[in-house]
Structure 1
């Protein structure tokens, strides 16, 4: 069989095989109404001459917008990983966009430009991580009927906003109870913003445990700023410079705990000999810290996965069992907290 010259088309293949263009098209499309002999002859010619048909239009996949406000850290990376892995399993695409932190409600009552961009991108749903949304943003998403799921919202979520978090109150209580069981009574808390829902829950759990044994927490033992390393350094420095400094500190995040470790190191204090420390999150940095952090584990990747699956349910018009899902926290004991000794009291 001689090779056809020039551009090979359906018509040239049909002419060489002695069949109609429609028959060649049926062979290419896998139709069954072609005799085996004709099919074999046409396929032989197609293969012989390297016929390449038009590229088929790619199948349109569902796309979820994942947005994050602020600087990416170990916490957010694990949540994002959970969202992406669940998206792969569900056969949907996940588009990650970062936006300015803590947007303020516009005086004009208009949604933020990046919210309008999400609505205009024809997404099936949106997922926000530790995001603070103004009323105008939420109203715009509601008008566009774009489902929204927020992981650990930075502000108190409205009742009709679907969110995913962990048992922060129970986690805060477990952290304090662990330090109390080690004999500590002067325990400080360094955490996030006062308006943060997860921060309020962690601090409330901490206070509840302290109240249960009749231990009062002085105002100078509470430091609220953000969940970042620099906040741990600042809060730790202020607390450890007190004349009657705490013998233990519960940090609202692992990153804050690392900052407290640095503040202690700068003052010649050893952890856990001179200061016991408990973090929150159980990110990779908790295991790599020196000493490794005792911390409250949040199932961060699972939180991301639940957010993705919930967003798809809402996009499909399905009812969800709860507007707020809380996954269980677990205390992970490592090496940063130790029994309180009289020598520590003397050293303080």
Structure 2
């Protein structure tokens, strides 16, 4: 991130308003012994100066709280991230708060609110951020760590991910090794960095083997169950349907299983499926899901520890860290049917 601008102080606001520091402090604390006109003027200047109340000193506030923020409803993927963050937080004596922002705007007031609530750092998971949002956090001097960001703002931010390209490559190579050539990819948002890397791994494996990617074999949506049902239906209804599908997430893979079931297809006898994440879902499907293990708990732990280092003013060795993925073979993949 660029160097932080100088933080406005109570004295700065008081001088602009032509009142005492004590008066500004009364306005901040909601005291009633301030005239409405003075209160309105001070509040306006606090906003103009982007004033952020200083965080409580560590000896007063303890080790503090780190917020883990999601853009969408929690699922099996989210649970693994949270578990890792909570485990690392317990080791460090730090509390964890989980929130869902949805589509709400992230502004300077949002950043100030996090600091006022005593947050020491923010971990944003699978979020889509504008350049202004990390800048708002930077002005508030609140460290930000991203996990699997859907996009990377132009400003330099610290992020934690996994080897998505290698995972996509391994998933597709596994299916190719079983004799499949008609392999489709049903993934997440086309603009998401993690999805692009998985798709590129898939394409690289297919190209290296000389296996064509047929029209309609690549689908982009979201990483959710219903998207898997719809994406799976779309590729399975093609004139030359795939014999195997690589799904961008375990949730999508389960949705594809349902689309296959609706069409009377057996897994893996008629259709092989590989997921991505290795959440608890992968172990309880029928048959159990072959998938790419993404070290989600370790990613949550790494994000928490990195956030605390940044909160202490330490420098990090790298602004982007990728943890290794690995193929986990279970019962949802098998050699290509001989009749095809």
Q: TM-score range by the shorter chain?
A: 0.7 to 0.9
Change (3 A) 1:245 1:277: same
What's the CA shift for 1:100? 0.9
Gapped regions of structure 1 (runs ≥ 5): 1-56, 105-109
CA contact (8 A) 2:165 2:200 kept: yes
Gapped regions of structure 2 (runs ≥ 5): 1-58
Q: 2:100, 2:61 → 1: CA distance?
A: 27
Matching residue within 94, 97, 105 for 1:95: 97
3-state DSSP of counterpart to 2:100: strand
Aligned to 2:241: 245
Q: 1:159, 1:188 → 2: CA distance?
A: 35
Change (3 A) 1:62 1:144: same
Which is worse superposed, 215-224 or 297-306?
A: 215-224
Q: 1:274, 1:159 → 2: CA distance?
A: 47
**2:68 is the counterpart of 1:66:** yes
CA contact (8 A) 1:119 1:141 kept: no
Moved over 6 A (4+): none
**2:221 is the counterpart of 1:225:** yes
Aligned to 2:275: 279
Q: 2:186, 2:108 → 1: CA distance?
A: 31
What's the TM-score once normalised by structure 1's chain length?
Answer: 0.78
Aligned to 1:301: 297
Q: What is the number of equivalent residue pairs in this alignment?
A: 282
What's the CA shift for 1:266? 0.3
What's the CA shift for 1:193? 0.3
The 5-angstrom pairing of residues 167-246 of structure 1 reads: 167-246=163-242
What's the CA shift for 1:123? 1.6
Q: 1:113, 1:146 → 2: CA distance?
A: 13
Change (3 A) 1:115 1:271: farther
What's the TM-score once normalised by structure 2's chain length?
Answer: 0.80
**2:338 is the counterpart of 1:339:** no
Change (3 A) 1:130 1:322: same
The 5-angstrom pairing of residues 21-60 of structure 1 reads: 60=62
What's the CA shift for 1:328? 0.3
